[in-house]
Amino acid sequence: MTAIEAGHLVKRFGSVTAVNDVSLSVPDGRIFGFLGPNGAGKTTTMRMLTGVLTPDAGNVRINGIDIHRHPLDAKMQMGVIPESSTVYGDLTAEQNLHLSGKMYGMPRGVRDERVSEILSRMGLGEKRHLPVRTFSKGMKQRVSIGCAIIHRPKILFLDEPTSGLDVQSRRLVTDTIRQMNGQGSTVFLTTHNIEEANMLCQTVCIINKGGIVAQDSPERLKKMFDTTQSIEVSFDRPVNGDLFTDPGILRAELCGDKWRLYTENPDRILKFIVKEAANRSLGITSLATSGPSLEEAFVHLTECA
């Protein structure tokens, strides 16, 4: 069954076409990553999928319900965490969760139980009676997530949910996504954090300049660019880029105390490095090869389009 289905979505703002003929389909129970650089059209697409914006053309179905014909029925199926949107600062964490539960028509008893459960899971039990305006960004985001999942939605939309969060809050968010998915929810995750998408998503869709440029599993997307691999090497003393003169090295990047070398022939470059290290009396402290990353695929797809 298809949880989210969008066909030929178009959205224009004046003379700018923010989203141009976007179609996508998310099967039930999947974690679907929606990636793209800033200004690619991710948030506009998500706003159309969640019924916040009306598309100029195209249609959206949520669990088979046309969201623009039956917005309320469709919205009952979903929980949404908008990118920059927050919860009510003048209300306490508990009041925000109750308000959200009321919006979804949850009876008082069920709501009480669920609010306590979420506050405890989000580590906010002791701060439940404090106004949210006194919370840190991470704590506000936890309340925001709680508001979106209070009714155990069948589909969860998250727009850049970990942006600007500390490690603990980020982990809590990713754990919640996995947990919701484990309980059967479909997750639509908009992000520009490629590693996050790589770790969480079964399918990744890349949007650039308002159009979809690729949609597949992270591993298959990586294999689209499997001609390029990388080697990471570090030495016992600093070296500069002049060392890497072999024509088989396509690009050399200094990453912290390591060099990352991109090549189509790792065997040749490995031998070159070992030989050069011996010639210059350099000790190799670490040496590793890796296949193409999702980041590489992303860069290729968004640069070429």
> Based on CB atoms, which residue is closest to other proteins, 13 or 275?
13
CB neighbour burial string for 143-152, b if at least 16 within 10 angstroms, e if fewer: bbbbbbbbbe
* Least distance (Å) between residue 47 CB and other proteins: 8
For other proteins, the closer of residues 82 and 266 by Cβ is 82
Q: Provide the minimum distance between the beta carbon of 183 and other proteins in the complex, in angstroms, as a whole number.
A: 21
The pair of structure tokens assigned to 260 is 């990352």
Q: Which residues are bridge partners to 4 per DSSP?
A: 26, 62
**Structure-block tokens of residue 104:** 């979804």
Buried b (16+ CB within 10 A) or exposed e, 4-22: bbbeebbbeeeeebbbbeb
Interatomic CA distance for residues 124 and 144, integer angstroms: 12
Q: Which is nearer to other proteins, 112 or 276 (CB)?
A: 112
Q: Which is nearer to other proteins, 99 or 287 (CB)?
A: 99
User: Which CB sits closer to other proteins, 68 or 258?
Assistant: 68
Nearest to 187, CA basis, from 2, 29, 25: 29
For residue 126, the 8-state DSSP code is G
* Smallest distance from other proteins to CB 237, Å: 50
Q: How far is the CB of 236 from other proteins (least distance, A)?
A: 51
Interface residue list for other proteins (CB under 8 A): 13, 47, 50-53, 70-73, 75-76, 78, 80, 82, 84-91, 95, 99-100, 102-105, 144, 147, 157
> Rounded CA gap, 142 and 193, in Å?
19
CB of 128 to other proteins, least distance (A): 17
